[in-house]
Amino acid sequence: MFFIGIFGIQDKDKYIGTYNNIVCPSCGRLARYDIHKSYRYFHIFFIPTFKWKVRYFAKSSCCGCLYELDPLVGMEFEKNPDTVIKEENLQQINFYLPFKHCLHCNADIPSEYNYCPYCGGKL
């Protein structure tokens, strides 16, 4: 009898859902969080056997900042999407603003500009 064992370790990123109507802690605009779950798992014959390094992430839709979500809140959000996510449950991982926001005309301006090309206001 011939037996081939197929096993391995793989990383996975799974989209959980969105959390709407938040005020972004980084830029202060009204936005939403896209919640993701990241983990590493061991599989035998392409069947996941066990997981480890489970982490939950929240990415803001306005400025693209990435936050690590408290694991207990992340598990609760996975079971019940109506779970409340508070600012103290988030830990900022990176800060990325591809745009500056003009307060005079509410336009998103590329970050290399110092003055708004639409209204001339200082950014």
Domain-wise residue ranges, the chain: 7-97
Contacts by 46-53, CB closer than 8 A, 24 or more apart: 46/6
Query: pLDDT digits over 53-98, tens only?
Result: 999 999 988 877 889 999 999 999 999 999 999 999 999 987 655 6
Distance CA(78)–CA(37), nearest Å, equals 9
Residues 91-107: what's their mean pLDDT? Answer: 75
Residue 10 has pLDDT above 70, yes or no: yes
Asked if pLDDT for residue 3 goes beyond 50, the answer is no
Q: What is the pTM of this model?
A: 0.70
What's the mean pLDDT in 5-30? 87
- Which tens digit of pLDDT belongs to each residue from 22-44? 998 887 889 999 999 999 998 88
Show Cβ contacts of residue 89 under 8 Å, excluding neighbours closer than 6 positions. 69, 70, 73
